[in-house]
C-alpha cells in the first residue's frame, strides 16, 4: 500500500499526529543520508521523537549571525517560525 | 482507565504505524547525536543510571576528538541543520569548555541542546551558552524540595534546579522541558507539583519511571508499584486533556491502551535507528540511556559513519528480543521488546511496561 494512503488511513482513524514521527521517511529514495539539501526535510527537527535523556526539538532554524552562531532572543524570530503544535492535535 | 486494552481503531492505527516504522528503520536516518562529554557530576543521585560521581575515574573526552568525528565522519553525510547534537553527562556544566564546544558545534551548522541538573547554572552561564548557540535544554526536577533533595542527595539541589528553571523559562527562543523521575513517594504529589510548574510558567513536562540500572538498581524504594505506575499514567492522561501543560511520558515502553494518550506519538525506540551516541570513552552506541554493552564500535578505532551505516544490527532488527516473557506476547509486533535501555548485557528484559498495566 502506498505510504500516502497509509498516512491518510491513520488520519482517518484519528492518529495522524501519533504517526508523525515516521512521516519523514523517504521510501524508494536513495537510502544514503545525503549531504545538505534536497532530501533534508525542513521540519525534521519538529518531528523527531524525544528520546530518553534527550531534549525537546528546538524550533525551526534561527537566522545565523555572520560568524555562524544562531542569534537568540526576539530579534531572531522570523515569520516562518512554526507555532508549536498542541499535543494530540489530530 | 485505558489499561492494557487496545480498541479496534487504535489497533488498526498501530498496524499502520508499525508498517511505516519499518521504512524508518531501513533508512536509519541519523537525526540525533548524543555526545557524552563527561561522566563527572556535581551531584551523586540515588537513581543515576550512569553511576556518575564527582570523580568517575574516567577522563572527559577532549573536544577536538568529538569535533574530528563531526568534521570527518558526520558532516560529509548529513545536512547538519537536521541533526540535533545533545551534550550529555554526567553533568555537562562541569565542563569549563562547554561554551566553546557549543560554539564549535553551532559554527558547523548543527543545532545543539543539553541535559542538566541545573545545580551550576547561573544567569551568566546561561547567557554564555545561549550566545554559543544553545537551542534546547532539559532540566531535572524530581518533585518538591523534600523528594528532590532526597533523590539528589544534596540539600541545595532543589533550590538550585528551581532557580535554573526560572532562568530558562524566561529565555526567549529556547526550547526546554522539565524532566521528572517519578517514584512511589512522589506519585500522590504529582497534581500539586504540576500546579507549581504551571505557576512557574513551565509549558513542557516529561515524566519518567526509574529503571533498575546503575545506582537505581540498588534502591528498590525508588520504584513505583504497578498500581502507582497506572496512577501516574492516568495522571498524565488527564493532565493532557486539561491542556494547561504539555505533559508526556518518556519514550520508554509500549503502553497498550495508553498509547497516543500519554505521549504525542506511538511508542517506538529510536536508539540506533535515528539516534546515535558517542560515549565518553569513544564507544559508539544508541541512546545514552542504553547502559548495557550494545556498543557497535569506537571512534578511536572505527569510522563512525561506517559503523552507523553497516552495524547497529541489534538496534534495527529486534527479533532477538522475542524471547523470555516476550516470546509469545501478542504485543511484540508493536513493542519489539521495549526500549533498548531496558535490556541488560545478556539482552534480557529488565521489566515490561505493558504487563504493569
B104: left (phi over 0), alpha (psi -120 to 50) or beta: alpha
Do B13 and A50 lie within an 8 Å CB cutoff?
Answer: no
Let me know how long chain B is: 357
B304 CB burial (10 A radius; 0-12, 13-18, 19+): buried
Cβ contacts from A onto B, under 8 A: 211
Cell reading at B177:
522541558
Residues in chain B with CB shorter than 8 Å from the CB of A49 are 251, 265, 268, 270, 274
A3 compared with B154, residue with greater pLDDT? B154
pLDDT category at B253 given cuts 50, 70, 90 is: very high
CB B133 within 8 A of CB B112: yes
- State the cell numbers at B43: 551531584
Residue B92 contacts residue B114 (beta carbons within 8 Å): yes
- Residues B207 and B180 sit within 8 Å (Cβ to Cβ): yes
Model pLDDT for residues B222-242, shown as the tens digit of each residue: 889 999 999 999 999 999 999
Question: Counting runs of H as helices and runs of E as strands, what totals does chain B give?
Answer: 12, 10
Provide the pLDDT for residue A51: 84
pLDDT band at A30 (very low <50, low <70, confident <90, very high): very low
- Tens-digit pLDDT profile for residues B271-284: 999 999 999 999 99
Contact A25 B20 (CB under 8 A): yes
Q: Do A49 and B265 touch (CB under 8 A)?
A: yes
**What per-residue confidence (pLDDT) applies to A3?**
84
Residue B74 CB neighbours (<10 A) = 22
Which of A25, A56, A77 lies nearest to residue B27, judging by beta carbons? A25
d(CA B38, CA B59): 7
Comparing alpha-carbon positions, the chain B residue that sits nearest to A86 is B246
CB B140 within 8 A of CB A60: no
Location of C-alpha cell 491513520: A10
Half-sphere exposure of B352 (CA within 13 A, CB side): 20
pLDDT surpasses 60 at A74: no
Q: Can you give the C-alpha Rg of chain A in angstroms?
A: 16
Q: Which tens digit of pLDDT belongs to each residue from B320-357? A: 999 999 999 999 999 999 999 999 888 999 889 999 99
C-alpha cell read off for B202: 513551565
Instruction: State whether residue A21 sits within 8 Å of chain B by CB.
Output: yes
Q: Taking the C-alpha atoms of B146, B152, B157 and B159 in order, what is their torsion angle to the nearest 10 degrees?
A: -30
Confidence of residue B61 (pLDDT cuts 50, 70, 90): very high
Pick the residue from chain B with its C-alpha nearest to A61: B81
Neighbours of B179 (CB within 10 A): 21
CA dist B26 → B108, B206, B238, B271, B310 (Å) = 27, 29, 36, 13, 11
Residue B172 to residue A69, Cβ atoms within 8 A: no
The arithmetic mean of pLDDT across residues B180-188, rounded, is: 94
At which residue does the C-alpha cell 553551532 appear?
B106
Beta bridge partners, A64, equal A70
Q: Are B47 and B211 in contact (CB under 8 A)?
A: no
Q: What is the pLDDT of residue B286?
A: 95
CB within 8 Å: B287 and A68? no
Residues with Cβ < 8 Å from B192, sequence gap 6 or more? B144
Q: Inform me whether the pLDDT recorded for A76 exceeds 90.
A: no
Reported confidence tier of residue B57, pLDDT bands at 50, 70, 90? confident
CA distance B57 to chain A (A): 22
Cell 568534521 belongs to residue: B71
Contact B140, B181 (CB under 8 A): yes
In the predicted structure, residue B30 carries a pLDDT above the cut 80: yes
ipTM reported for the complex, 2 dp: 0.89
Residues B91 and B41: beta-carbon distance below 8 Å: yes
Average pLDDT over residues B170-187: 95
Least confident piece of the model among A5-19, B81-95, B155-169: A5-19
Measured in angstroms, the CA of A5 and the nearest CA of chain B are apart by: 10
pLDDT reading at A44 higher than 60: no
Amino acid at each position: 500500500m502506498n505510504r500516502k494512503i497509509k498516512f491518510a488511513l491513520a488520519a482517518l482513524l484519528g492518529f495522524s499526529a501519533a504517526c508523525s514521527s515516521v512521516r519523514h521517511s523517504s521510501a524508494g529514495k536513495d537510502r544514503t543520508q545525503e549531504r545538505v539539501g534536497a532530501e533534508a526535510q525542513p521540519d525534521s527537527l519538529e518531528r523527531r521523537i524525544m528520546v530518553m535523556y534527550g531534549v525537546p526539538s528546538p524550533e525551526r532554524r534561527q537566522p545565523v549571525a555572520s560568524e555562524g552562531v544562531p542569534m537568540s532572543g526576539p530579534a531572531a524570530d522570523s515569520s516562518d517560525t512554526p507555532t508549536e503544535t498542541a499535543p494530540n492535535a489530530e | 482507565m485505558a489499561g492494557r486494552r487496545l480498541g479496534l481503531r487504535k489497533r488498526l492505527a498501530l498496524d499502520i504505524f508499525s508498517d511505516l516504522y519499518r521504512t524508518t528503520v531501513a533508512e536509519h536516518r541519523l537525526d540525533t547525536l548524543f555526545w557524552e562529554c563527561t561522566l563527572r557530576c556535581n551531584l551523586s543521585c540515588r537513581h543515576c543510571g550512569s553511576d556518575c560521581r564527582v570523580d568517575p575515574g574516567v577522563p572527559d573526552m577532549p573536544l577536538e576528538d568529538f569535533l574530528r568525528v563531526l568534521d570527518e565522519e558526520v558532516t560529509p553525510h548529513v545536512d547538519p541543520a537536521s541533526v540535533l547534537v545533545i551534550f550529555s553527562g554526567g553533568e555537562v556544566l562541569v565542563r569549563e569548555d562547554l561554551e566553546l564546544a557549543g560554539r564549535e558545534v553551532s559554527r558547523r551548522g548543527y543545532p545543539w541542546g543539553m541535559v542538566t541538573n541545573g545545580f551550576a547554572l547561573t544567569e551568566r552561564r546561561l547567557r554564555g551558552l545561549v550566545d554559543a548557540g544553545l537551542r534546547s535544554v532539559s532540566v531535572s526536577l524530581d518533585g518538591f524540595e523534600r523528594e528532590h533533595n532526597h533523590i539528589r542527595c544534596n540539600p541545595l539541589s532543589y533550590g538550585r534546579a528551581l532557580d535554573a528553571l526560572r532562568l530558562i523559562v524566561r529565555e526567549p527562543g529556547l526550547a526546554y522541558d522539565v524532566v521528572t523521575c517519578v517514584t512511589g513517594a512522589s506519585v500522590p504529589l504529582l497534581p500539586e507539583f504540576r500546579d507549581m510548574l504551571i505557576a512557574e510558567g513551565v509549558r513542557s513536562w516529561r515524566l519518567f519511571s526509574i529503571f533498575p540500572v546503575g545506582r537505581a538498581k540498588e534502591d528498590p524504594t525508588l520504584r513505583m508499584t504497578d498500581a502507582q505506575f497506572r496512577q501516574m499514567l492516568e495522571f498524565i492522561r488527564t493532565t493532557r486533556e486539561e491542556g494547561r501543560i504539555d505533559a508526556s511520558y518518556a519514550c520508554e515502553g509500549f503502553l497498550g491502551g495508553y498509547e497516543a494518550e500519554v505521549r504525542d506519538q506511538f511508542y517506538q525506540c529510536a536508539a540506533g535507528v535515528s539516534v546515535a551516541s558517542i560515549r565518553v570513552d569513544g564507544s559508539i552506541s544508541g541512546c545514552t540511556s542504553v547502559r548495557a554493552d550494545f556498543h557497535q564500535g569506537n571512534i578511536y578505532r572505527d569510522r563512525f559513519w561506517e559503523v552507523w551505516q553497516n552495524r547497529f544490527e541489534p538496534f534495527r532488527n529486534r527479533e532477538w528480543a522475542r524471547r523470555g516473557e516476550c516470546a509469545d506476547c501478542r504485543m511484540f509486533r508493536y513493542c519489539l521488546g521495549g526500549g533498548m535501555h531496558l535490556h541488560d548485557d545478556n539482552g534480557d528484559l529488565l521489566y515490561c511496561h505493558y504487563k504493569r498495566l
